[in-house]
Amino acid sequence: MFSSLRRIGHAMEIQSRRIDRDFGLTLPQLFVLGCIRDLGEGTSRAIAAAAHLSPPTVVLILDRLEAKGAITRTRSLTDRRTVQSRLTVKGAELLADAGPELLGARFRQGFAALSEAERAGLAQVLDQIATLMSEP
């Protein structure tokens, strides 16, 4: 089991380097962009919860994404402490271009070849593993 987890980690590192080289995004940046897209807009705390990252980590990622022009951040007019992040056109394009490459063509093809029950079972097992490995 540990060998399989290490292989998954290694494969993710390779994919992350490839995505960074090809699209100028790290996997965490790509995940955060996806969360912002899914939320429509969000505070760093909401984005952190959706991405399963710490709020300080998300703030650093948001800084980098804003510098790349992938997001905009606006301060609330009613509560100056609240800052909303939104995807820009460039951010949506980056996400659309890099998104399909997240796990690679080989994974996409192999996963698509599985039956619906096999895909659901695999997703459930991966969720259980993530839960078991998460901090309390």
Per-residue pLDDT tens digits for 41-63: 899 999 999 998 999 999 999 99
CA separation for the pair 70, 31 (Å, rounded): 13
Chain-centroid distance, C-alpha 84: 18
Residue that has been written with the tokens 């093809």 in this structure: 109
Helix (H, G, I), strand (E, B) or coil at 88: coil
What is the pTM for the complete model shown? 0.78
Query: Based on the number of CB atoms within 10 Å of its own CB, is 50 exposed (0-12), middle (13-18) or buried (19 or more)?
Result: middle
Q: Which residues of the chain have pLDDT under 70?
A: 99-102, 136
